[in-house]
Amino acid sequence: MEDDMTTEFVAVRHGETDENLHSILQGQCDTHLNKLGIRQAECVAERLKHEHFDLIYSSDLQRAMRTAELIAEPHKLPVFPLRALREWNLGALQGGKWEDLRVKFPAVMQAFREERVALQVPDGESRADFYQRVADCLDEMSERFEGKRILLVSHGGALKAMFRHVVGQVAESSRLPLTSNASVSQFRYVDGFWQLVSWNDVYHLRSLGENESIVF
């Protein structure tokens, strides 16, 4: 840490679920890690076991909480569940297969890959509201825990929202950043500014292979 005014964040995406594997949109459905997902979480835990954390927060959905609990074990720290770290509420799309939803909601599904802030998910959360929820969470933590190092365990879509808040809007000519299962990303808040340190690091998964899932 550069100085006492810096708040550091390490953000981890949960391990794989069967829904990830079969391209089913989860959103805020409370799904669970599969066998590979548990192994991935164990690899993250091994990767981070010698790093210092003051606090560990996780989305309260089980796939994130289980990942966080495995990482927290060597640190002897509690995992605090936080609804603000939940995945995007995908409303009518939740539980649907990607290929089926592309036929039923083609414009919405294409927009998932791009930076369309005005996107409104049927019966769900607008992208603007989703981004604001995650941004407010990060801003509140950066001030409340100034000088601390915080582990966040969340979801693919939520991590993309964090990236946008830290770095800025992705160009219309570019696609959104990768967020692999059990990836590790780092950013910090210092002197009133956000700074990206690293993104989507999956080196710790090299023995397992890694799968970038577009599925939220």
* Residue 87 annotated to the active site: yes
Does 17 fall in a domain? yes
Q: 211: pLDDT confidence band, cut at 50, 70 and 90?
A: low
Does 176 fall in a domain? yes
Question: From CA 139, how far away is CA 164, in angstroms rounded?
Answer: 13
Does 147 fall in a domain? yes
Does 30 fall in a domain? yes
Does 215 fall in a domain? no
Q: Which CATH number goes with the domain that contains 38?
A: 3.40.50.1240
List the catalytic residue out of 87, 125, 165, 210: 87
Does 212 fall in a domain? no
Does 34 fall in a domain? yes
Q: Domain range holding 84?
A: 7-205
What domain count does the chain have?
Answer: 1
Q: Return the closest-CA partner of residue 162 out of 13, 2, 7.
A: 13
Over residues 115-149, the pLDDT tens digits come to 778 888 999 999 999 999 999 999 999 999 999 99
List the catalytic residue out of 14, 75, 155, 165: 14
Question: From CA 16, how far away is CA 37, in angstroms rounded?
Answer: 4
pLDDT beyond 70 at 49 = yes
* Residue 32 annotated to the active site: no
Does 20 fall in a domain? yes
Over residues 58-77, the pLDDT tens digits come to 999 999 999 999 999 999 99
Q: 1: pLDDT confidence band, cut at 50, 70 and 90?
A: very low
